[in-house]
Chains A and B, each alone.
Chain A
Amino acid sequence: MKGTRVQAATAVGLLAALAVLAVAGLLLRETAIAVDVSQALQPPGSEHWFGTDAQGRDVFARVAVGTSIALASGLGTVAVGGGLGLLIALVCGLGPRWLDAVLVRLLDAVMAFPALLLALAVTMAFGTGLLTALLGVVVTVVPVFARTLRAEARRATSEPFVQAARTIGLSTPRIAVRHVVPYLGTTFSVQTAANVGNVILVLSGLSFIGVGAQPPTPEWGAMITDGLQNALTGQWWTGVFPGLALLVTVVAVNLLADSIPAVRAARLARRRGARPPASAAPVVVGSEPVPAASAKEA
């Protein structure tokens, strides 16, 4: 139990540091794209903490702006995708059976594509860029949320409180919003944490292969692409720092996601005395989280 608390604290600490970096990034937007060829490829030092890239831009400023881009787009895409997924889950859970069957098949079909490749296809179809890449990532998030939340929503309909709400004649939308949505809250938050890291990874992957953020946007993946060109001539800093920021961010989010079920169970146990914790929903953090989980539902 102590280990979990340490883990959660580490995650929160790292995320707080990243949040500070992201705020700094908001102030450094001008610096991050200021080209100064006379300062090209300076090594890390007191003037440029992370050195400069081939165009003389400050790598620290670019990493900081990249942090704000990554955090904002990670949270944003998961919020939008999760919201849409929740909507679909409610339709599946409370709507007619045939609609549920159709939607589940469709979700399965979308989830048959590896996330990066689906996002890639969507992005290419609508034209490369950061915004279309975000759209592509949302498309991969929706079925993940919909599939998990649907199972919970279905379970909710057989719970006494939903049946009671039906009995007293509440309308289906009202039951959905007032009774089922709160029931899904835990799963939703766990899924959110489990997906943000993955989404940030996919997004930077897209930029890395050239369909996401375009230069001169200081996005981490795109910066690593730039860094490759300097790697063999010894300027390691242009590619290493953005990747390090990416790694720390994703690991921090995943650490947090991993500790949520245990922390929640502990809190629940404390509140209710020594009852054993209800088996927390299994979360596979990292690449391709949900297909594994979805295989378990009936």
Chain B
Amino acid sequence: MSATSTTTSTTTRPGAAALRRGGGALLGVLATLLLASVVSFVVLRAVPGDPARLIVGPLATPDVLAGVRTQLGLDDPLWLQYLRYVRDFATGQWGYSYSNGADVTAVMAARLPATLELALWAFLFAVVGALVVATVASFRGGAVAAAAKVVSLIGLGTPQFWVALVLILVLGSGGLGVLPGPSGRLTSFLEPPPHVTGLYTVDGLLAGQPIVFSDALAHLALPAISLAIIPGAFLTRLLTANQLDVARAPFVTVVRSKGVSRWAAHRRHVLHNALLPSVSSAGLVLASLITGSVLVESVFNWPGIGQVLVQGIQRQDFAVVQAFVLLSAVLYVAANTVADLAVALIDPRLRVSGGSR
């Protein structure tokens, strides 16, 4: 995100410039993260409402309430509470559920593989779909490109949770019944495969259980499609615009004038050069996958962290919400940073002059 690109240096020695740029970028990211933690602390701790009261319930005696307050450190000054909050978050102690006392970190860790598997497949669908549509649209141009543009605009405006509902109604158990509807990750009579990665499709393959693999994939299909729509539409727009841009570049004319066929030039030169800039939108794609998992998982009864969040919301469970919200910001910033670094590493043009972005 902007933190990395704010520092542009104009030094002549590329190595030193890159180093200073990297250092500055890292400091910027850290500052952003620290401030983000302040924001989430202020929003969820310092506003009206007493977490201790939520934990003990409305009927508890003042003594019990005071006890819990002390136990949580709510009597300490705010800055001390904040420092403790940052320390706990950084060390992975995300507190205990207000409603049932479960260790939030443990719950999240147990649910993470389900979300990860869903997000990975959705990402795969989105990237493959966007690559195909964007390449065809920018290569053919004209009506095809116009149609692709309209489709991606519609995709960007789609409420994912509603698509989930429609998919269940059409393809799932609410309609044709081609794919399993809202019924979790596996058909109930199947045992989950032996735990290696926690991703049922991968573990199923590793264990040589094709039935588990195909069943897991069938269960994945509808939620993953719902989740893939927004990032897919976003990537389609981006890749189409990038390819149309590159296709106009003089070097493409040169390539063509050397007798390379139009398709070969498009694939080898236009497509390849259009891919790189889209790497820097990795953060946005990740953010949309995180947001989407919150909205989609509960529709499909998918046992991931998005569902934990929604259940936490219904129980007014601030510990869960707080951990999830700050975690999403950390992941988002991290993805942006990694993407920026990756682009800087891959793209030789950014290495030479200290970045012209």
Query: Does B258 count as interface, using CB distance less than 8 angstroms?
Result: no
Contact call B332/A108, Cβ cutoff below 8 A: no
Contact call A112/B333, Cβ cutoff below 8 A: yes
Query: Does A258 count as interface, using CB distance less than 8 angstroms?
Result: yes
Of A47-55, A169-177, A203-211, the stretch lying at the interface with chain B is A203-211
A243's contact among B6, B166, B287, B318, by CB below 8 Å, is which? Answer: B166
CA distance A171 to B17 in the complex (A): 40
A114's contact among B32, B291, B298, by CB below 8 Å, is which? Answer: B291
Contact call A255/B153, Cβ cutoff below 8 A: yes
Contact call B313/A124, Cβ cutoff below 8 A: yes
> Contacts of A287 on B, CB cut-off 8 Å?
156, 230, 234, 284, 287-288, 291
Mask: chain B, 45-78; 1 = CB below 8 Å from A; 0 = not: 0011100000000000000000000000000000
Contact status of A236 and B295, CB under 8 A, knowing A113-B329, A114-B287, A247-B159: no
B328's contact among A106, A114, A124, A295, by CB below 8 Å, is which? Answer: A114
Query: Does A77 count as interface, using CB distance less than 8 angstroms?
Result: no
Contact call B44/A294, Cβ cutoff below 8 A: no
CA distance A85 to B329 in the complex (A): 21
A108's contact among B32, B288, B314, by CB below 8 Å, is which? Answer: B32
Query: Does A193 count as interface, using CB distance less than 8 angstroms?
Result: no
CA distance A224 to B159 in the complex (A): 10
Contact call A292/B284, Cβ cutoff below 8 A: yes
Query: Does B33 count as interface, using CB distance less than 8 angstroms?
Result: yes
> Contacts of A118 on B, CB cut-off 8 Å?
43, 325
A125's contact among B3, B36, B49, by CB below 8 Å, is which? Answer: B49
Query: Does A218 count as interface, using CB distance less than 8 angstroms?
Result: no
Query: Does A250 count as interface, using CB distance less than 8 angstroms?
Result: yes
Contact call B47/A125, Cβ cutoff below 8 A: yes
Contact call A296/B40, Cβ cutoff below 8 A: no
Query: Does A115 count as interface, using CB distance less than 8 angstroms?
Result: yes
> Contacts of A109 on B, CB cut-off 8 Å?
32-36, 38-39
> Contacts of A197 on B, CB cut-off 8 Å?
157
> Contacts of A210 on B, CB cut-off 8 Å?
310, 313-314
Contact call A232/B173, Cβ cutoff below 8 A: yes
Contact call A251/B154, Cβ cutoff below 8 A: yes
Contact call A113/B325, Cβ cutoff below 8 A: yes
By beta carbon, the residue of chain A nearest B164 is A228
CA distance A112 to B286 in the complex (A): 12
Chain B binding surface, main DSSP class: helix
Query: Does A138 count as interface, using CB distance less than 8 angstroms?
Result: no
Contact call B8/A298, Cβ cutoff below 8 A: yes
> Contacts of A285 on B, CB cut-off 8 Å?
153, 156
Query: Which residues in chain B, 311-334, are within 8 Å of chain A measured between CB atoms?
Result: 313-314, 316, 318, 321-322, 324-325, 328-329, 332-333
CA distance A285 to B34 in the complex (A): 29
Query: Which residues in chain B, 258-310, are within 8 Å of chain A measured between CB atoms?
Result: 280-281, 283-284, 287-288, 290-291, 294-295, 298-299, 310
CA distance A253 to B35 in the complex (A): 33
> Contacts of B34 on A, CB cut-off 8 Å?
109
CA distance A243 to B161 in the complex (A): 9
Contact call A117/B284, Cβ cutoff below 8 A: no
Q: Name, among A3, A114, A124, A253, the residue most crowded by chain B CB atoms within 10 Å (CB to CB).
A: A114
| Given A124-B313, A231-B168, 20 other A-B residues pairs in contact with their CB atoms under 8 A | A109-B35, A113-B36, A115-B291, A122-B43, A205-B291, A208-B161, A209-B294, A210-B310, A224-B165, A231-B174, A236-B174, A240-B169, A243-B162, A250-B158, A286-B156, A286-B234, A288-B287, A291-B2, A295-B1, A295-B2
Q: Which residues of B contact A (CB under 8 A)?
A: 1-6, 8, 31-36, 38-40, 43-44, 47-49, 146, 153-154, 156-159, 161-162, 165-166, 168-169, 173-174, 181-182, 230, 233-234, 237, 280-281, 283-284, 287-288, 290-291, 294-295, 298-299, 310, 313-314, 316, 318, 321-322, 324-325, 328-329, 332-333, 336, 357
The 11 listed contacts between A and B (C-beta, < 8 Å) are A114-B290, A114-B291, A117-B291, A124-B321, A209-B313, A236-B169, A250-B157, A251-B157, A254-B157, A287-B230, A298-B5
